[in-house]
Structure 1
Amino acid sequence: FDHSGWANQIKDYSKHFECIVFDNRGVGKTEGSDSEFSISLMAEDVLSLMDKLNIKKAHFSGVSLGSCVAQEIVIKRPDIVCSLQLHGTWASTEGYVGRKFNAQINLLKKLEIREFYEINVLWFLTPTFMRDNPHMVQKMIESAVNKNYSKNFLIAQYMADLNHYSMDRLNQISVPTLITVGSFDLATPLDYAVQVKNEISGSEIIVWENGGHVHNIENPKEFNSKTLEFMLR
Structure 2
Amino acid sequence: MPTERLNGSAINYRIEGEGPETVVLVNGLADDLETWAFQVPALLAAGFRVLRFDNRGIGASDRPTGPYSAQLLADDAKALVDHLGVADFHLMGVSMGGMVAQQYALSYQEDLRSLTLACTYAAPGPFCSRMFAMWADAAQVLGVPFVMRDVTLWAFTLDFFRTRTDELAEFETAMRYMDQSVPAYLAQLAVIQNFDTTGLLGGISVPTLVLAGEQDILIPTALSKELHELIPGSSWATTPGGHGCIWEHPDPFNASFVDFLLQHNGRSS
TM-score band w.r.t. shorter chain = over 0.9
Q: Note if contact 1:85-1:178 (Cα within 8 Å) is conserved in structure 2.
A: yes
1:106 offset after TM fit, Å? 1.3
Distance 1:51 1:208 in 2: 33
Alignment of structure 1 residues 18-167 onto 2, 5 Å: 18-167=49-198
Distance 1:184 1:27 in 2: 27
**What amino acid maps onto 1:213 in structure 2?**
H
State the aligned residue count. 232
Partner of 2:41: 11
Partner of 2:246: 216
Q: Note if contact 2:129-2:193 (Cα within 8 Å) is conserved in structure 1.
A: yes
Q: Note if contact 1:63-1:214 (Cα within 8 Å) is conserved in structure 2.
A: no
Cα deviations by residue, 1:42-71 (Å, 9 ceiling, x for unpaired): 000000000110112210111100000000
**What amino acid maps onto 2:62 in structure 1?**
E
Q: Note if contact 2:67-2:186 (Cα within 8 Å) is conserved in structure 1.
A: no
Q: Note if contact 1:68-1:89 (Cα within 8 Å) is conserved in structure 2.
A: yes
Cα deviations by residue, 1:137-187 (Å, 9 ceiling, x for unpaired): 222232234342111111121121110110111111111111111222111
Q: Note if contact 1:114-1:141 (Cα within 8 Å) is conserved in structure 2.
A: no
Partner of 2:28: none
Identity of matched residues, %: 28
Greater RCO structure (CA 8 Å; 6+ sep): 1
After the TM superposition, which of the residue ranges 156-165 and 65-74 deviates more from structure 2? 156-165
Distance 1:35 1:200 in 2: 30
- Length-normalised TM-score, structure 2: 0.83
User: What residue ranges of structure 2 are gaps of 5+ in the alignment?
Assistant: 1-30, 264-269
Distance 2:163 2:33 in 1: 24
1:133 offset after TM fit, Å? 2.0
1:134 offset after TM fit, Å? 2.0
Q: Note if contact 1:104-1:120 (Cα within 8 Å) is conserved in structure 2.
A: no
- Length-normalised TM-score, structure 1: 0.95
Q: Note if contact 1:9-1:224 (Cα within 8 Å) is conserved in structure 2.
A: yes
Distance 2:64 2:165 in 1: 34
* Secondary structure of the structure 1 residue equivalent to 2:114: strand
1:36 offset after TM fit, Å? 4.5
Alignment of structure 1 residues 162-173 onto 2, 5 Å: 162-173=193-204
* Secondary structure of the structure 2 residue equivalent to 1:19: strand
Partner of 2:216: 185
Q: Does 2:256 align with 1:230? A: no
Q: Evaluate the alpha carbon distance shift between residue 115 and residue 146 of structure 1 in structure 2; reply closer, same or farther with a 3 A threshold.
A: closer
Cα deviations by residue, 1:58-103 (Å, 9 ceiling, x for unpaired): 1011110000000000110111111011011111112111111111
After the TM superposition, which of the residue ranges 41-50 and 25-34 deviates more from structure 2? 25-34
User: What residue ranges of structure 1 are gaps of 5+ in the alignment?
Assistant: none
1:216 offset after TM fit, Å? 1.3
* Secondary structure of the structure 2 residue equivalent to 1:116: helix
Of Structure 1 and Structure 2, the greater strand share is in 2
Distance 1:147 1:118 in 2: 10
